[in-house]
Structure 1
Amino acid sequence: MNNVIGRSSCTSILIGKKASLTGSVIIGRNEDAKTAWPKHLAFNPHQDNVKNNYFKSKDNKFEMDLPETIFSYSSTPEWTDKYGVFEEDGINEHHVAMSATESAYANERVLAVDPFDTEKGILEEAMVTVVLPYIKTAREGVQRLGEIVEKHGAAEADGILFSDPNEAWYMEIGSGHQWVAQRIPDDSYAVVANQLAIQAVVFDGNDFMYSKNLKDFVYQNQLWPKDAVFNWREIFGTHDDSDLHYNTPRVWIGQKLLTPSVEQKPQDFDLPFIRKPDKPISIQDAQAVLSNHYQNTPYDLTNPKNKNNATFRPISVATTQESHLLELNDENMIHWLAMGVAAQSVYVPFYPQGTKVPTMYKYGKETYSTNSAYWVFKLASTLADRDWNKYGTDLGSAQDDAREKTTHLRYEYDQKLAKETDPAKKIDLVNEANEKMAKTATDIFKELSAKLITKQTADSPLRFKMDPNL
């Protein structure tokens, strides 16, 4: 990775269609890197007959030829491509969603025999760009990225999320050329936090995909006994003390929220990868997972007692650039996008098939500016951070208002689109809806910031009890 961005430290969630409230397949992730590093929203158009379509990374020397046909897709690129594109997540015209990546670590035994190719291997920054515009199903996505890893090598350990209206897949890269992917059971979900998470691999059937020589690689290098269950996490993953404070507690809280009937400990190395929820998971439940900071537990970072003595790394942190949930249900596609810190922002239900990016979602640089959606949400969260107990209620009220109004707008436009038959008019409606939802959310947060600034004028230390007669 480059020296400016560093490795991202994300948290991911994948939900099968029978585990979700609406029958949707949902994948999502917090993109965590820096406290001030804006993201934009992009709608990339369909292109045919693109001659000499070629990708060359700015982050390392990875490069490859690409197909001549590029499917349209949404994405959330960096404010600058100087260090790489980092498109990170999106939904394409064939209703396939992808999110990349969940950074992880492989152990030294594996890397001794198949090290990462940091010079020429594929990195996070390139994955969405070279995969999502060229696939028609989630399985195709896994297969395409797997072939790239085997041919070009990987530069880092990563987890990658894929979905279509029928299924969700989680793929993990465990060494320079070895990978595995597991289909999330329809009635289950998974929460992942910067660890290689897939456990027992079943080599027969249709629920796993893997690198061509995975078994031979493991057994020939004596990385695992042949008579034991092939456990990917044990073979390729890590079990460090840092995992107990940085990673496993996030999986614990995610599973605690969705499956509270099962008692577990936050520092348990053996938390399962796959869980069944106690009740159907709504999109709001998924948002709550990605927005969690251990509230209602002793580990809440907003508790003054934990200000300089945090026990566990939470899911929602100040370094989150954006948080997304990609929801697919038959013909319905929703790119839920929260700019900045999920716990202090709002998920806007964008139509990924749009062709015009809402004005404020295409602007924003490293330094604060008023014309950027990222900075609108970031300003409000920064002001609320000055005293969470004092200003948290104002923030929560603004979030509730924005959620209600944007989701109602989405509902209204869903009804309009269902009645419209002209493709061009449908696109016009989509663009109109995206702009209205974006403006509604950012206007509410602008008002919130104005309110907080006004209130905080009374917080100055340069105060003195004034004589009312003077």
Structure 2
Amino acid sequence: MTKKDQTAAPRRPRIFEGGCSTIVVGRAASATGRILVGHNEDNDGRIVTNRIWVPAADHAAEERLAFESGAAVLPQAPHTLAHCWTQTLHPQGASYSDSFINEAGVLVVSNNCNQTWERDEPVVDGGVGYAVRRLIAERARTAREGVEIALDLQTRWGYRGEGRTYTIADPHEAWQVFLLRGHRWAARRIQDDEVVFTANAFALDRIDDVPPEDVMLSPDLVDYAVRTGRYLPENGLDHADFSFRRAYQPPERRYALWNFDRARTAWEYLTGRRFNDPETIPYAVRPALKVGTADVMHVLASRSAYEERRGFGPEHRTMRDVSNVGTFDAAVYELHEEPLLTTGWRASGRPSQLPFTPFFPLAGPPVAETLLDLESARRAHFSPPREVFDWRADRPLWRGLAAQTLADWTDFDLPAWWRPLIGSRVQEGAKIRRAASELAAAAGLERARAFLHDWNERVFAEADAVVFAAFPAMRPVPIEVLAAELSPGMGEVEAALHPAAGFDPAKIDPDTVTFGTATPTEDVEWNARRGRVCGMTVEEDGSVRLRFPAEDVLRLALPGVLTDFWIFGLVEDRPFGGFDVVRVAGEKPDE
């Protein structure tokens, strides 16, 4: 082993990065006859999603790629493919949450599968992390090429993450690649008649159930598991009973309810069977009935039947739901043999509450979803400017999240508002696809692309308008934070609740009232330590002034950011909620 290959594990300051749920449907199992991929991105903290079109480009021979601080610096390819980039902007940067689909129709998404036994394996020059997904997007013309790129990076430099499942798919085949810290890996092609669901534990079990050419293993993967005692073959040198997930991940990861509940929720819907033991959760099934896009959406929007939801409070509290408290982006893709005609459906938040808006990803995202230009996005990715997290009323993203937050606490049926519109647009999508195909044949792909981009813009604007109109129907209460800026040093934060039609603030139950941010905690759970009332005054005009401990109100708030602060509570046993936007004092802390 060389000195370089003994690079110590880089400091990993974040405990959690990336949850996620992924469902893949093979062509023969699909009701559409095309591969379907559905994916939820879950994470902690205040997340902003930037969607951007990246043009194809040629590069100089000396160009190098630098990603995370301390990661390996890599040579750039002479030519890179155009792609649609869904970027996760996290206050601390995000190596493992972005998704891509390129002009060749190659899609890449991933699932965090940390907590493996391989967490301290050496890497070369800092190893690779974020580079895996971006280089697949830039270089792979097929899913198999994407697999080869990922495995080549893993072999040369080693993977700097602890464990992750990458789903790489094109219109003809889908693969999952399982990367471990260091230089060990496995890959399996999803069979055409299979459906796969993955949460945040390695799901790959036995590897003897598909043709040998559809499985790839790093050279010493099985032997190393034998040497470490984590795999004991039943029949000596016969390794037919080798289980990847048992050999390389402790069972507690599979048994954790935030993994087990999501997996069994999905599989019980897809199979009609009940699963009471995490070890019986399958990697793949051959479904009795074809699985369609509506089924994939249903899985991504589903909630656990096993989590107790007690009384007043948010509907989404933990990661035990597939659509959970940390879900900030959801998408479904039907991969078309002409990549431009690939259809997507996307929700910029929890799909149990916000609409799956149809779009054609390779026609480019709506302008309103692009918050940073390409140069700024790349420069800011691992250290975003604080202003990108400012709440802005003119951004559809923040309007949608406001509606989602209020609906979550008041049990408002938000989907009832948008379901008719989205249903009609999904039906219209097939007609639009035919028209685009005819236009491409008559006038070329660029004309067809422009036509589809216009449709993306129109449908997105319609969905935004519906969600925006639903917000006042939820009857948010008027609140006012009585300070121009908030800081923990204030001691207390004072806020006023003002009278409104059907709302008398003097009748609130102060013991139920909480005040603070709506972002999930570091463990991807709802913020149960929001500020509670420590003083209440009823004014002559009917308004009520409430005081809260500033430290609790500001828990999870970002310094220097214009933030939406939410009050929730009960009035005459009915839930109410509302928010005001105030800047938090301070500047971006040193990294």
Partners in 2 of 1:293 and 1:414 — Cα distance?
Answer: 32
Q: Is the alpha carbon distance of 1:116 and 1:14 closer, same or farther for their aligned partners in structure 2, counting shifts above 3 Å?
A: farther
The 3 A distance-change label for structure 1 pair 409 and 135 is same
1:286 aligns to 2:296 (yes or no)? yes
Partner of 1:144: 149
Asked if the contact 2:319/2:326 (under 8 Å) is kept, the reply is no
Structure 1 240/51 Cα, relative in aligned 2: closer, same or farther at 3 Å? same
Per the TM alignment, residue 404 of structure 1 is displaced from its structure 2 partner at its CA by 2.0
Among 251, 264, 283, the residue aligned to 2:275? 264
Partners of 1:55 and 1:130 within 8 A in 2: no
2:443 pairs, out of 407, 422, 431, with 422
Tell me the amino acid that sits aligned with residue 360 of structure 2: Y
SS in 1 for 2:274: coil
Q: Compared with structure 1, are the counterparts of its residues 304 and 191 closer, same or farther at alpha carbon in structure 2 (3 Å cutoff)?
A: farther
Q: Distance in 2 between matches of 1:342 and 1:313?
A: 15
Q: Is the 8 A contact 2:50 2:369 kept in 1?
A: yes
1:104 correspondence with 2:113: yes
Contact 2:225–2:248 (Cα < 8 Å) also in 1: no
Matches within 5 A, 1:17-56: 17-56=27-66
In structure 2, the partner of 1:462 is 506
Quick check: which has more Rg, 1 or 2? 2
Query: Do the aligned partners of 1:192 and 1:251 also contact (CA within 8 Å) in 2?
Result: yes
**Counterpart in 2 of 1:369?**
392
User: What is the deviation of 1:292?
Assistant: 0.9
Task: Give the secondary-structure state (helix, strand or coil) at the position aligned to 1:264.
Answer: coil
- How far apart, in 2, do the equivalents of 1:28 and 1:439 lie? 23
- Over 3 Å counting, the alpha-carbon distance change for 1:116 and 1:372 in structure 2 is farther
Name the residue aligned to 2:194: 188
1:238–1:4: structure 2 CA closer, same or farther, 3 Å change rule?
closer
Deviation readout 1:357-412 (Å, 9 max, x if unpaired): 31221138323212323222211101102211xx12xx021230341243244234
**2:86 aligned residue:** 76
1:450 counterpart = 2:472: yes
TM-score normalized by structure 1?
A: 0.87
Q: Report the 3-state secondary structure (helix = DSSP H, G, I; strand = E; otherwise coil) of the residue aligned with 1:23.
A: coil
What amino acid sits opposite 1:158 in the alignment? R
Checking the alignment, whether the CA contact within 8 Å between 2:199 and 2:259 is kept in structure 1 is: yes
Change in CA separation of 1:339 and 1:213 when aligned onto 2, cut-off 3 Å: same
Q: Tell me if 1:321 matches 2:328.
A: yes
**Offset of residue 76 of structure 1:** 0.5
Q: 1:80 to 1:251 in 2, by over 3 A?
A: closer
C-alpha separation in 2, matches of 1:2 and 1:83 = 12
Question: d(CA) in 2 for partners of 1:375 and 1:288?
Answer: 24
Equivalent pair of 2:35/2:173 in contact (CA under 8 Å): yes
Paired letter, 1:438: F
Q: Distance in 2 between matches of 1:416 and 1:195?
A: 42
- Once the two structures are TM-superposed, the CA of residue 139 in structure 1 deviates from its matched residue by 1.1
Aligned with residue 263 of structure 2, among 251, 254, 269: 251
**Contact 2:47-2:90 within 8 A present in 1 as well:** no
Matched position secondary structure for 2:178: strand
Supply the distance in 2 between the matched residues of 1:241 and 1:325 (Cα, whole angstroms): 26
Cα pair distance change 1:204/1:255, threshold 3 Å: closer
Partner in structure 2 of residue 468 of structure 1:
none
Confirm or deny: 8 A CA contact 1:335 1:352 kept in the other structure.
yes
Q: Residue 467 of structure 1 corresponds to which residue in structure 2? A: none
- Structure 1 residue 155 and structure 2 residue 160: aligned? yes
User: Which deviates more, 247-256 or 76-85?
Assistant: 76-85
Identity over aligned pairs, percent: 19
Is residue 121 of structure 2 the alignment partner of residue 115 of structure 1?
A: yes
Q: Residues 15-61 of structure 1: CA distance to partner in whole angstroms, max 9, x if unpaired?
A: 11111110111122211113531102111111134543422113542
Which of 1 and 2 has higher RCO (CA within 8 Å, sep 6+)? 1
Could you tell me whether the CA contact under 8 Å between 2:255 and 2:278 is conserved in 1? no
Contact 1:26 1:163 in 2 (8 A): no
Structure 2 gaps, min length 5: 1-10, 373-387, 479-499, 509-591
Contact between 1:406 and 1:441, CA under 8 Å: does it hold in 2?
no
Q: Does the CA contact (< 8 Å) of 2:61 and 2:76 recur in 1?
A: no
Residue identity matched to 1:181: A
* 1:66 paired residue among 73, 76, 96: 76
Code of the aligned partner of 2:66: K
Deviations, residues 156-188 of structure 1 (Å, cap 9, x unaligned) = 200100111121111111331111111112111
SS at match of 2:37: strand
**Partner amino acid for 2:393?**
T
RMSD: 2.9
Equivalent residue number for residue 171 of structure 1: 177
Evaluate the alpha carbon distance shift between residue 306 and residue 102 of structure 1 in structure 2; reply closer, same or farther with a 3 A threshold.
same
* Distance in structure 2 (CA, Å) of the matches to 1:89 and 1:455: 37
Structure 1 unaligned runs (5+)? Answer: 465-470
> Hey, what does 1:404 align to over in structure 2?
423
Partner secondary structure for residue 434 of structure 2: helix
1:337-359: CA deviation from partner (whole Å, max 9, x where unpaired)? 2101121111222212224x312
Q: Residues 217 and 284 from structure 1, CA distance in 2 versus in 1: closer, same or farther, beyond 3 angstroms?
A: same
Change (3 A) 1:320 1:119: farther
Contact 2:125 2:157 in 1 (8 A): no
Give matches, 1:222-241, under 5 Å: 222-226=229-233, 227=236, 228=239, 229-240=241-252
Q: Which has the higher strand share?
A: 2
Counterpart code for 2:38: G
Residue 433 of structure 1: how far off its partner (Å): 1.1
Which one of 348, 368, 383 corresponds to residue 339 of structure 1? 348
1:131 aligns with 2:139: no
